[in-house]
Structure 1
Amino acid sequence: MQEGNRTQVSEFVLLGFTDRSEVEIPLFLLFLLIYLLTVMGNLGMIVLIQTDPVLQSPMYFFLSNLSFIDICYSSTIIPRLLCDLLTERKVISYNACATQMWFFSVYATTECYLLAAMAYDRFVAICKPLIYPISMARNVCLQLLAGCYLVGLFIATVHTSGVFRLSFCGPNEISSFYCDIPPLLRLSCSDNYVSKAVLFVLSTFVVVGNAIIVLISYGYIISTILRMQSSTGRQKTFSTCASHLTAIVLYYGSLTFIYVQPGGIEAVEHEKIVSVFYTIVIPMVNPVIYSLRNEEVKRALKKRLSKKIFHQGPQ
């Protein structure tokens, strides 16, 4: 496709992490292990929540959906990364790049809103326990989850269409291991001011808006915890909330570094490291965070493991 004397590119080259072939196999093994741990950990969390009668509250409904999103989230990035580490020419087609960006944006945005919904759930459960069964009824939880996905679909469509309406006439080397918005904007040969502004405004709205919801919710939660008479109750409640707060800080913090700063798309020095953190590491550690810091999950897991041990052997 011609634009004057310029040719629209039909494919992109993902530069990945390194051009040294001797480290690609170790990186492949490392990321393969991370991906297997991510899928097994999050799938195990989903199965545990769905099959244990104790874990049937709204909090665990949201947690199982967070695990599902983390599986989809990492599956959008890592399988392609693994293939590229085994091939000499790391090429992705124009349409495949747009598709990967769209799915990545859907799951990233949905997870932001889901974490905020989980904070609201904890606020109602701890600060307004008498109305909790009504305020967080099954249909309300389903509506909140549907809202998270709908916003994710909308934001992803706006971002992807905004980036791929631009002209890419060379070079076509993406300074990342997947099709992310900032490195693609740097490659555009047309005026990308509007796309940069949209990225900053929408990213700020998503991350900062949800962070405000989380901060307000946890402000009330901490105030309520401090007023509790029982030290055991305070410790149990704080332990449940601490895991969620840890996941939020890790996820929102890394997204803020990449997207929520006007000059962020020009800062590439640490971009790959932070991208690895929120696209690959966080989906793997979320099940660990929630299982280690949550007494109900630990008890359910121990019960499930003890049943397996005692039921092994000839029938």
Structure 2
Amino acid sequence: MTMHADQLHVDAQMVRGLVEVQFPRWRELPVTELRTSGTVNAIFRIGDDLAARFPLVGHDPAQTRAWLVAEAEASRELADAATVPTPEPVAIGEPGAGYPLPWSVQTWLPGHDGTVEDPAGSDAFAHDLAALITGLRAHDTRGRRFDGVGRGGHLPDHDEWLETCFRQSEDLLDVPLLRAIWAELRTLPEVDEDAMCHRDLIPPNVLVEDGRLVGVLDGGGFGPADPALDLVAAWHLLDEPQRGILRHELGCGDVQWGRGMAWAFQQAMGLVWYYLDSNPTMSRWGRRTVDRIVAAWIAPGEDDSLPTSRGRCTVA
């Protein structure tokens, strides 16, 4: 089912044609379309070792190529910082065979993503995730700052989007409660310097095997941002006891932990309604994230304390 109003069409036959013309050294390899929960790219395997990624939305080939070049550079930098394997950029393809944009090829990583193998109750996964985030934060920003794109900057910049989500979710969620939660989360102060972040640590972007983190995907956004941004993983991926492990290993203060909740809230609110029919997997885990946040808000455990005016704790 189509997920976006302006979504591009791409199928295995088109991909075979593109590969045969542009990368003849791979022309004998089978091309297989993957049914994933991803929303940004259509993914096709080429043989056993490669994956081709085709942007699902876009109109400007030059703009798309610039993004793919930047994505490849960020992915290489992520590989240097990550504690687990990440896909390596291999090539950038050109428009053709009915597909209007550049596209990319990268190495294939085995494993099940977090929507297929749920790591929520795994202590080992929580430790692995803490090690990953620690390693990413330690990577040198080289003086760079948040670029202003997407999540990772000022929470109030997302008020308009959240208002859209509240309106669209009136028949799906307890919107009055959620409005009250956002009204407090959005006021959390910016207390940390930008650090290097994956910037999209969500279930489809982590690979899990036997309850361990074995790979990280979609590293094209790796860059400086609010270090709380990667804490979305706590709410998207972990149950309460495992969130406690992550928080203690990272040494998160109340404000940083609360801002992580805010970024997860901003992301999950959009997933529930936007993908309700077109991508039920995304909608379901967005709802699960919202449910976790609401539960922690109503009855916070020791590790979910937040700096709010509701009396849990206060900001000095």
Larger RCO (CA under 8 A, 6+ residues apart): 1
Indicate the structure (1 or 2) with the bigger Cα radius of gyration. 1
Which structure has greater strand proportion?
2
Which structure has greater helix proportion?
1
State TM-score, norm by structure 2.
Answer: 0.26
State TM-score, norm by structure 1.
Answer: 0.26
